[in-house]
Every structure is written in C-alpha cells, then in structure tokens.
C-alpha cells in the first residue's frame, strides 16, 4: 500500500511560534513512517517558507531554519500542481505532491483562515476547518455574536475599539455599569494566550486595553466566571459527528499563563446527566452551526450560578501528548498515533 504523502506546516510569523514548534515536534515524531511520507514545511518568524528535511530535534530546539539543507518552498494555489513547489538557491524548482496537509500553525495567521483559504484553492485535503469557520472562530467577538444568534450561552462581554482610547474613561465607566470585576481583556482576533489580561479596576483595564490594541484594533472585555472548566472535542463533518469523553481543567492558571497549557486534567468529570447532555448537545450543535469539518475542541464554563456557557472554540489545539485535545482522545480510546490517523482520515474523507 502506497504511503500517504503529508505536509506538516509549523512555526509561523506570530508570537505563538514557539508553541507551534512544540506541537510540530510531537506530531512529526508521532507520524508513522510506515504509513506516511512526511514533508515538513516551516515558516520563520520573519515569514519565510522553508522545506526542512533535517532532524526533528532541530524543530524542537528552534535551530531548524539554520540548516543548510533548507530551501524555499511554497504551497501552489494551482490544483494542477497538487502540492509543494521547492525553490533551490540557483533558482531551479521542483514539485512535490502531497495528499493531505496538517497545520500546527497557531495564532491568527495559522488559525484565522489564511492558510485554510490557500489550501482550499489548491484543492489539497487538510486537517482543519473551512476558511469561513476559521475566521469566525479566530475573532472572539464574531464567535460570541454567531453563537448568541443560535441561542447558545456565552459569557457576558463588552467591546472596545482602538479609537475608544480617546474617550477611554467614559467607555470604561459604561462597561463597569454592565459588567463586574474581575474581568478579562483580550485582543479580539488573536489566540487566547496573547494580549490577554485579568483586570480588577479601571486603571488595570486601561492598561490591558493598550496591550490588546497592540495586537488587534478591537478588544473584548469578558466577565471572569468562577466555576468549573469542562472541555470536549467534536469530530466529523456537518452531517455526522462524534464526541470524545468530557474532561475538566481542574486548576485554572489564568488566561495569559503559560501554565494553562499544562493545567491539571481530569477525564470524565462528575456531572449530572442534565449537565453532561447539555454540554454534549451544545457541542454538536455548535459544530454544525459553524459548518465545522475535521475536529474542534470546545471549552465550557459551569458558572457557580448554574449557567453553562461556551467560552472558546479551538480548531487547531496544541498537539503535544499533554495537550487537552490529545488527552480527550486518549481517554476516548485513541493512542497518539491513532488520534493523528483519525484526524488525517477525516480530512481525506471529507474532501474526497
């Protein structure tokens, strides 16, 4: 049986670059060389695309882009090419066909629809959602607005625009009438760990808004909900979906803490049947409403007052064995290689 030709995209010109390298190292080592012909494509912090045929250890330690074996590479948008064009130092080119692409590019350039649109143009199957869904999920305000239109509960929130800095005291006073401290202020269209801070008063909100605006022109101010964080992964297409077991993030280290990636995880948490059914039903509904394909991880908050709210949807979660997606899949019976095979298989089947 012929090997599946897979390109793995990693790195990226965002502040999530290092996180992507960690995910890529795990993924590259987790792909079976008996099943897959692997083509690693790294993107530097400066935005250069490089074909990297070297040791995966160099991806882990960040030295991969200094390898003399690297050469420029692009994904051709022309479906006739069906893959990667490599460009040598002398200007000569070569085509490398691929059957599927798996991206671990975190942040707005990897998760915000740009890469997905390129792959859609090229007609190469890929492990991710559609460009339109990616745009909806990357922008937190857009996500909340769409979910609310479908009757799905989200945290109470307010919006700040960069132009509001001219009248920031008045805008903060308006928000204080609507929401109670503590609050979270974050860039609207950015990964949740970037440009996000908890605030407890007006001065802290003003400082947090400036940080958020350094990443995007719009900021979202959300209520800080005490309560339990429950996560679930949904897989499939808009027509047929399956869910993993539920998992609980037992320790909340904060939205802007690197420790959030290694928070204590508890599988199959204690919930009432009503709570469990509501979370699973809502997750499936969201998957269909946003026209997902492949996989999405969703984070719910069981607020102390009894509300069950959807906080985040993540189309490209971390891909280390310790990431919550992989732990959810492991608790659902998938080993790491099996989880990777499952997601790749879904991508090829959906785009077939």
Say what the pLDDT of residue 261 is: 43
The predicted pLDDT at position 263 comes to 64
For the chain, the C-alpha Rg in angstroms (whole number) is 21
Distance CA 139, CA 325 (A): 21
The tokens describing 199, both together, are 């605030």
Which pLDDT value is given to residue 341? Answer: 94
Q: What is the pLDDT of residue 111?
A: 87
Residue whose C-alpha is closest to residue 198's, from 260, 148, 130: 260
Q: Is the pTM of this model over 0.75?
A: yes
Contact 23, 320 (CB under 8 A): yes
Q: What angle do CA 303, 304, 308 make, to 5 degrees?
A: 30
Cα 133 from chain centre: 12
pLDDT for residue 352: 54
Give the pLDDT score at 260: 41
Pairing of β 308-314 and β 294-303: antiparallel
Per-residue pLDDT reduced to its tens digit, 242-256: 999 999 987 644 444
Q: Could you tell me how far CA 57 lies from the centroid of its own chain?
A: 24
> Backbone phi, then psi, for 86, in 5-degree steps?
-95, 145
Question: Distance (Å, rounded) from C-alpha 347 to C-alpha 349?
Answer: 6
Structural domains of the chain, with CATH: 4-127 (3.40.50.20), 136-154+225-351 (3.30.470.20), 157-223 (3.30.1490.20)
Task: Dump strand ranges (E) for the chain.
Answer: 4-11, 36-43, 49-51, 71-75, 83-87, 93-97, 100-103, 126-127, 157-161, 183-187, 196-199, 218-223, 227-236, 241-243, 247-249, 265-267, 294-303, 308-314
Q: Which residues contact 234 (CB under 8 A, 6 or more apart)?
A: 241, 242, 243, 244, 283, 284, 286, 287, 292, 295, 296, 298
Read off the tokens for 172.
């903060």
How many CA within 13 A on the CB side of residue 82? Answer: 5
List pLDDT tens digits, range 46-71: 999 999 999 999 999 999 999 999 99
With residues binned 3-state (H G I as helix, E B as strand, rest as coil), the percentages for the chain, rounded to 5, are: 35, 30, 35
Q: How many CB atoms lie within 10 A of CB 80?
A: 8
Q: How far apart are CA 337 and CA 331, in angstroms?
A: 14
Mean pLDDT by groups of 10 residues along the chain of 352 residues: 94 91 95 96 96 95 94 95 93 94 90 92 93 90 93 95 95 96 91 83 96 93 90 86 92 44 78 96 93 91 89 87 92 94 89 59
């Amino acid at each position: 049986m012929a090997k599946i030709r897979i390109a793995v995209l990693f790195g990226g010109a965002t502040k999530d670059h290092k996180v992507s390298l960690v995910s890529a190292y795990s993924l590259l080592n987790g792909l079976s060389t008996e099943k897959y012909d692997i083509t690693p494509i790294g993107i530097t912090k400066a935005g250069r695309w490089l074909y990297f045929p070297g040791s995966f250890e160099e991806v882990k330690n960040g030295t991969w882009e200094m390898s003399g074996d690297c050469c420029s590479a692009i994904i051709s948008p022309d479906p006739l090419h069906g893959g990667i064009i490599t460009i040598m130092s002398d200007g000569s080119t070569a085509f490398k066909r691929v059957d599927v692409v798996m991206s671990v590019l975190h942040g707005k350039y990897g998760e915000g629809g740009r890469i997905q649109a390129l792959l859609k143009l090229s007609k190469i199957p890929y492990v991710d959602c559609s460009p339109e869904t990616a745009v909806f999920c990357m922008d937190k305000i857009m996500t909340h607005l769409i979910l609310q239109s479908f009757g799905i509960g989200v945290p109470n929130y307010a919006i700040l625009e960069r132009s509001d800095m001219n009248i920031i005291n008045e805008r903060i006073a308006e928000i204080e009438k609507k929401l109670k401290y503590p609050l979270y202020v974050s860039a609207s269209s950015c990964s949740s760990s970037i440009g996000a801070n908890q605030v407890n008063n007006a001065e802290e909100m003003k400082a947090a808004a400036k940080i958020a605006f350094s990443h995007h022109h719009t900021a979202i101010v959300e209520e800080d909900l005490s309560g339990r964080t429950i996560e679930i992964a949904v897989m499939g297409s808009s027509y047929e979906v399956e869910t993993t077991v539920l998992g609980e993030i037992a320790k909340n280290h904060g939205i802007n803490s690197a420790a959030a990636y290694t928070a204590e995880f508890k599988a199959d948490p204690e919930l009432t049947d009503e709570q469990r059914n509501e979370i699973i039903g809502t997750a499936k509904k969201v998957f269909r409403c946003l026209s997902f394909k492949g996989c999405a991880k969703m984070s719910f908050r069981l607020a102390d007052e009894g509300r069950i709210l959807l906080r985040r949807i993540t189309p490209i979660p971390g891909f280390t064995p310790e990431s919550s997606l992989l732990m959810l899949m492991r608790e659902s019976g998938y080993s790491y290689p099996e989880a990777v095979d499952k997601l790749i298989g879904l991508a090829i089947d959906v785009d077939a």
